Amino acid sequence: MPFIPHTEQDIQSMLASIGAKNIDALFDEIPAALKSGKLTAIGDGLNEMQVTRLMRERAAQDSQPLNFIGAGAYEHHIPAAVWEIATRGEYYTAYTPYQAEASQGTLQTLYEYQTMIASLTGMDASNASLYDGASGLAEAILMAVRAHKTSRRVLLPASVSPMYRSAARSIVKLQNIELVEIPFDIATGTTDFAALQQHAGSDIAALVIPQPNFFGALEDVDALTAWAHAQGALAIALVNPLTLALLKAPGQWAETGADIAVGDGQPLGAPLSSGGPYFGFMCCKQALVRQMPGRIIGRTVDLDGKQGFTLTLQAREQHIRRAKATSNICSNQGLMVTAATIHMALLGADGLRRVAATSHANTQALAVQASGVPGVKRLFSAAHFHEVVLHLPESSAKVLASMAEQGISGGLDLQPHYPQLGNAILVCATETKTSEDLQRYVAALRHALH
């Protein structure tokens, strides 16, 4: 069957039936100035062999640099079995599980995912994912404002990813929610507690607590959580799920734990793939579960006592009530969640801990070795996970360009996002890096500076 099944005769017959002269008449309400006209840059159609050759040639243009960039998307080893299983037909094409009796496999997978994520975060409940970490943060802010009821002010540290802050502002700005930026301490790279204290006693809906933050620095999460609760505000944990294999879970922060935990699940089995697709996770305390957007899968028994799974705690109307809905997250990243569930099941708790520990050790070694290059120094003093900020004696953009010419993606230039840091770059080393890789990095950095 051809890709476009309608013949010219079919088209004319349909136009005649509805009384339209031509296809353009169907879109006459669109102003001419908004129409693009003919797509002159699109070439003629190609056959299958020609397309295959063209795409191979284009794929060959992609280099395979040694990657030391993180900043929210991390190069981790993904066992081959993860995507061999996830791309089987019964997983790859399963999507909307509204008809529970016909979707038991999909629902059970999502339930297992929720159980694993709730366990990692130490929270009471998990949804069945969001689009990504950035939109997840925005949903957590909206959720906190709904739960708080009186305040529409949320404190958002500058040490949260600039991409996440931008996405959150775009999503909540038309709902009269004020995001108040809290600066970071220039010595440690963590939230400036003195600046935070200036908001003590004011009406605040929530405080966002990144762990680790965008610089890879570890925040004093107990103190920040306790401070938020002392103000009558909710604590929103923004976390890297892999770190939770080693670090204290958000549900254990301070005496009562964080109220909401969100983040991007990309480190759990999702390849970099030029920026996606990834998935966002969200967990919360039981008291807030009815405010949580997205799908929630429950386990029950049928009339015969057999175990079954179904969508629960979510009205179908959430997807069609527009502005009155709890959320307009109508779907999720089911395939990525399936891969993450398989990934976590294969690695297990011990495997995740080993990945996290090796990533931390590699970044520590990289920071020490890079600091041995004249003029290069680690910028912040706080403990870190698998990212660290290095300050360079020359233009960070030029240094990274030089390293790229040597086949190394040397890090993220922080100048556009944090100009006050000067020639600073954010570097990351995961468990995929060897001692030889670290040596190559340092050699390329040394060459770029001379």
Selecting from 3.40.50.1360, 3.40.980.10, 3.20.20.70, 3.40.640.10, what CATH number does the domain 80-342 have?
3.40.640.10
Q: What is the pLDDT of residues 416-426, one digit of tens each?
A: 999 999 999 99
State percent of the chain over pLDDT 90: 78
Q: What is the pLDDT of residues 14-49, one digit of tens each?
A: 999 999 999 989 988 999 888 887 888 888 889 999
Mean pLDDT, the chain, rounded, equals 92
**Lowest-confidence segment of 103-112, 314-323, 427-436 by average pLDDT:** 314-323
For the entire predicted model, the pTM comes to 0.88
Q: What is residue 36's predicted lDDT score, i.e. its pLDDT?
A: 82
Looking at residues 47-53, what average pLDDT do you find?
Answer: 94
Q: What is residue 1's predicted lDDT score, i.e. its pLDDT?
A: 44
Q: Over the chain, what HEC string results?
A: CCCCCCCHHHHHHHHHHHCCCCHHHHHCCCCHHHCCCCCCCCCCCCCHHHHHHHHHHHHHCCCCCEECCCCCCCCCCCCHHHHHHHCCHHHHCCCCCCCHHHCHHHHHHHHHHHHHHHHHHCCCEECCCECCHHHHHHHHHHHHHHHHCCCCEEEEECCCCHHHHHHHHHHHHHHCCEEEEECECCCCCCECHHHHHCCCCCCCCEEEEEECCCCCECCCHHHHHHHHHHCCCEEEEEECHHHHHCCCCHHHCCCCCCCEEEEECCCCCCCCHHHCCCCEEEEECHHHHHHCCCCCEEEEECCCCCEEEEECCCCHHHHCCHHHCCCCCCCCCHHHHHHHHHHHHHHHHHHHHHHHHHHHHHHHHHHHHHCCCCCCEECCCCCECCEEEEECCCCHHHHHHHHHHCCEECCEECCCCCHHHCCEEEEECCCCCCHHHHHHHHHHHHHHCC
Query: Confidence class of residue 319 from pLDDT cuts 50, 70 and 90?
Result: low
Q: What is residue 40's predicted lDDT score, i.e. its pLDDT?
A: 85
State percent of the chain over pLDDT 70: 95
Looking at residues 181-192, what average pLDDT do you find?
Answer: 96
User: 285 with 123: CB under 8 angstroms?
Assistant: yes
93-102, 119-128, 332-341: which has the highest mean pLDDT?
A: 119-128
**Lowest-confidence segment of 166-180, 314-328, 352-366 by average pLDDT:** 314-328
Q: What is residue 316's predicted lDDT score, i.e. its pLDDT?
A: 54
**Lowest-confidence segment of 15-24, 114-123, 348-357, 439-448 by average pLDDT:** 15-24
pLDDT(57) > 90: yes
Q: What is residue 275's predicted lDDT score, i.e. its pLDDT?
A: 84
Domain residue ranges of the chain, discontinuous segments joined by +: 66-76+349-448, 80-342
Superfamily of 66-76+349-448 according to CATH = Aspartate Aminotransferase, domain 1 (3.90.1150.10)
Distance CA 248, CA 255 (A): 12
Q: What is the pLDDT of residues 202-242, one digit of tens each?
A: 999 999 999 999 999 999 999 999 999 999 999 999 999 99
pLDDT(3) > 70: no
Looking at residues 380-401, what average pLDDT do you find?
Answer: 96
**Lowest-confidence segment of 290-299, 333-342, 354-363 by average pLDDT:** 290-299
Q: What is residue 230's predicted lDDT score, i.e. its pLDDT?
A: 96
Residue of higher predicted confidence among 222 and 59: 222
